[in-house]
Structure 1
Amino acid sequence: MDGEILDAVTEWGTRPVADGVAGLYELADGKFTGAVTDGTAWAFVLNGRFVGTFDGVIEDFEDASLTAYTAPDMSLPLLYAMQARGGEVRGQYYSNDTPLSEIDATLSSGNFVGYVELSENVLSGDYYVVYYGGRALPVAFVGNNRRLLSGDEAFERAADEVGIYSVVDADVEVVDLPERPEGAAAPPAEPDAESTDQSGVVIDPDAEDGTTAESESTADAEDGTTAEAVTADSATDIEDGDGDGSEPTPDVDDGVDESAGADGGTAAADDFQSLGELSGVDDDGTAADADGDAESDRSPADESTTAGGDGPDPEPDDADRLHRETRALRERIAELAAERDRIAGERDDLRAEADRLRDRVTELEAAVERLEADDDDSDVETRTLTPEEATSGTNLFVRYADKASGTLERAAEGRVSAAELRDNLRLEYHTEFESEGARVDGQPFDAFLRTTPEHRFAEWLLTALVYEIRQTDTRAELSKLYEAIENVDRIDLDGDVDVTAGDDEGGAGSTTVTFDVVFRNKMGDPLFVAAFDDSRDPTRAGTIRPLLDDARSASRAVGAFAAAFVVTTSFFDADAMEVAVDATRGGLFSRSSRKSYVKLSRKSGFHLCLVEARDEDFFLTVPEL
């Protein structure tokens, strides 16, 4: 069942009820109106009749613990049962073209079963009129807090709204209860086998075919007076009088008391009058005869007997006076309707103008922001850098949004996923120049930096390579590389590494070697170096040999040095692969289990890795995982 219906029903007040079939009969015998559930299946109940079961069958309630929700208005169980069961939209109408009151008269007189929904293009709320057995039950949910309205107030609010309403043809299925438990007392028999609610909607035991009857009762429920009693009393008064000039007492038709008071009469407060009744149109659509039976100018007060037993005859001009008043009221109604339409048209025009002005304000605000941004840009001195100048003066720093969350150390331990690490890791930059206002190749420095191969390679090595090694179970073969990744703290673009070289006199001198990228730990020691070949031609041995020589020097100078990378945007030629194989062979008697490892001594050496960059991603070619 729809979640919005469940949310609405569970906000109703609850009432105690027995479990299982006994509880179902308790609700039926008590003329309950609302909903009942066993926690999964739901049933809607109207005056003790079960008008629909959803998310289950009625047998699911046997031996189950039940919860009953009392409906604040009798229209709601019918409406929700129809919506949950589903229906067919028979038509959609614009209220200015076809007023709701016209459709109401047609549906009421045609014994339509379904509902009208007015919610599209309506800002004030959702409005419904439920039709069943010739009766109309209006209900509305108004405002942000969805205040409940019903009866005439709900219908009048809906009729005054401007919008599109839908006529939905829906059915209601009355559900038979399981056999009454043995020993359970049946309710006392009533004169009428029909179940009648206080608004006159009747659901009889055969209501599966959609037939309903209307209650004959229209008097106040507290004094229990019935229309038949009123008719009998009136007939008694006529028999006790002289009977001269007396007219028969009007019959009670369709559950609406046609008798009126001395002021011309009013309908019962709980009865909803259709448009046909308000406009003097009979249920069959024909105009009421002005001289016909049951004229509203004859009231019980007029027919009551005097002390002598003769009631006063109605004055001859009363009927004409009432007809004149009726015509005047109809003319006033037409004037008000025309005024309402005029005001609604003006309102629509004003709304359109307000929307246009809002759009204009948005455009102007955007223009102001754009001009202010241009002014801010003009205040900052613009400096143009070459790509080489931009990268050589830039260092990257490994930082985290949350140090207790995804870190390189936790990734190496297998405690966080790759997505968690990417979301938490930050590569912040520091430049040796003023980066604000700096532009490289026509774009701001920040945008340029994040699209460089060096920056993208650093992200890949830190956030992806560790997971590729774990997934291929090569941590032991690449142990020195794997263990060093979690220690990376700083990354130099176009960075230098100090190495130690012996001079001719046996002394020691200091020199530096340069790499495109240098990864360092917190102490500044180089852990990885990388050289980039962005040529479209295959990368040959001549590109790898210089990197190997410089990496050997760095490894001899720094014991923490773990790997050297050659990154190509093309692919590695055969002679380049041969150089890599020869450098990592390890000698005739080598028993090293490490992959692609350049061994310099018993304690020093590093991994040589060849990486191909394609489609903004990186692929490790050597060693093969």
Structure 2
Amino acid sequence: MDGEILDAVTEWGTRPVADGVTGLYDLVDEEFSGAVTDGTAWAFVLNGRYLGVFDGDIEDFEDTSLTAYTAPDISLPLLYAMQARGGQTRGQYYSNETSLAEIDETLSSGSFVGYVELSENVLSGDYYVVYYGGRSLPVAYVGNSRRLLTGDEAFERAADEVGIYSVVDADVEVVDLPERPEPAPTDVAAAGSAVAGDDAGTDLADAEDEDEGVGDVAFDDDETDDGTDATGGGADDDGTDATGGVAAAGPATAEDGQSADDAGTTPDWATPDVVQSTESAESTAAEGDGSEAAATDVAGTDVDADAETAAPDETASTVDGADAATTDEVVDSADEVATDDAEVSSDAEASRGSASDDEIDRLRQELDAARAAEEEAEAARDRIASERDDYRVEVERLRERVAELEAKIERLEAGEADADAAPERTLAPAEALSGTNLFVRYEDKTGGTLERAAEGRIDESTLRDNLRIDYHTEFETAGLSVDGQQFEAFLRGTPEHRFAEWLLTAVTYEIRQTDTRAELTKLYEAIERVDRIDLDGTVDVATDGERDDATAVSFDVVFRDKMGDPLFVAAFEDSRDPTSASAIESLLDRSRRVSETDESLAAAFFVTTSFFGADAMEVAVDATRGGLFSRSSRRSYVKLSRKSGFHLCLVEARDEDFFLTVPDL
């Protein structure tokens, strides 16, 4: 998961939680909002609903110690779940042309799922509006202290900003938990004893309370500890309210003499549809007549009028005379009654001609699935088109080579001299490298790839066998000699070429074996995106924030993605003397300039054939641990701002192999 999200979540307050699946269900019962982790896998939780598991599966939480982080606002776990799952930017709008209020109205009315982000080149803070189920949840981090704002205050601050709003189409996936553990045998026996016992102090109301406990029914928050409700009325011993009806659980309404604000309820926009809603139950209760409400207990069970008026002695004798009922029978009975009540409620809704919540949820799930399939189809189309272009280039190259070899064979068979055997040409090593680019290709694109290696689906030998590093030069290589060797032999023996092979193959597995992916997220995820490598390359950096007035910064090696954005830069030193602090400072200065222009930069490498002196190590430590952002959980990370920064890596090259000195894995 993204390191910036981890930094933010780990600053939330923690709360105790039981281990394993029991702990997960405890958070469900408490309608917890925040994040939970076993140390590697993470899950975001919103009002007791699990909105996705990242860096693992839900099964990873079984039989393991858990840590729960309480979110300061319910918008944050929903936003972070969307960001961690990833989304697609659907459009960008300049605030002076299209206001945030206009965007918000369009997205809310269209049942948009995703979020709006205003953070690029905005100095006052980062602003978001999260959308789900036709509702919006504004949230903002303001100032250098990143003070959290939510609700109308966050929205008004965002609407007053001038900048570009990005509309990101994202989604969440509600995760089903493993089966809930069975209660302890002593608890079951106690429940059965409470129902079937012949204690003289047990009456029908007590038995009903036991049924409600088995069903996990939550009582009205308005009921106070001393047995009185929020309106001041006393709670009768027989479980009825002042009007003679059984008190129903649920939020207070205007009919209870209390407004939604007085009761402390959350406004409509603050509770996404992903959270279980009580609107259907409230509307059903409001439309039913008084006699029906009086005849229904808190679990939705019809109470027999005769049983309500029966004398305590008659009730006790009835219980004593019945067969001993097991706890399982009590549970089954409660489930059957609840099911009957749910069916009656469903029939009542159907008679009113309104769609049920289940039907709406089903249609939304179908919509989400269709959207996901459309994104996947577009990605497959683009991938196939890219592969087709690569194959066309390769076919053309092979055709030219075949024609060249056929013509050469014909000349030799005819006894002609080899026209290609021209006098040997030479180039200096520096000139040869500066005119050469490397390209990451595969023998079989369905086999061992960098992406599959990052996912842990193939071993290192499979990747090495399938990986192909091709080269392209700005000069003719036939008959070319560099440093007393054929060009290709010279190229593949250079430290730059061998370093590229090591970074693309070995580093991924070193990080996985040491379980440091979370601390080296940006570096680890960038490896699989490498498409080409410039030897003796340059990167254009903005001057005074203006890309049009850019200057070039030079490195010995520059790794780029398919769009040409820099992912890694590297400097090499071939000397018997230890590498000094000034060499590290020079790399840091150039890399900072690149990172301020291109957020894609993931790491800067310094490769030495000697070793790093003490002063060089001090410079590296100071650059990666000091300053305002020293609490970052990333290893050896030079953090420039919330979005820009890079890992600093010091590498020693010996005996044609490479060793990562910083960070120490």
Give me the TM-score of the superposition, normalised by structure 2: 0.37
Compare relative contact order (CA 8 Å, sep 6+) and give the higher one, 1 or 2: 2
Q: Which of the pair is proportionally richer in helix?
A: 2
Q: TM-score, normalised by structure 1?
A: 0.39
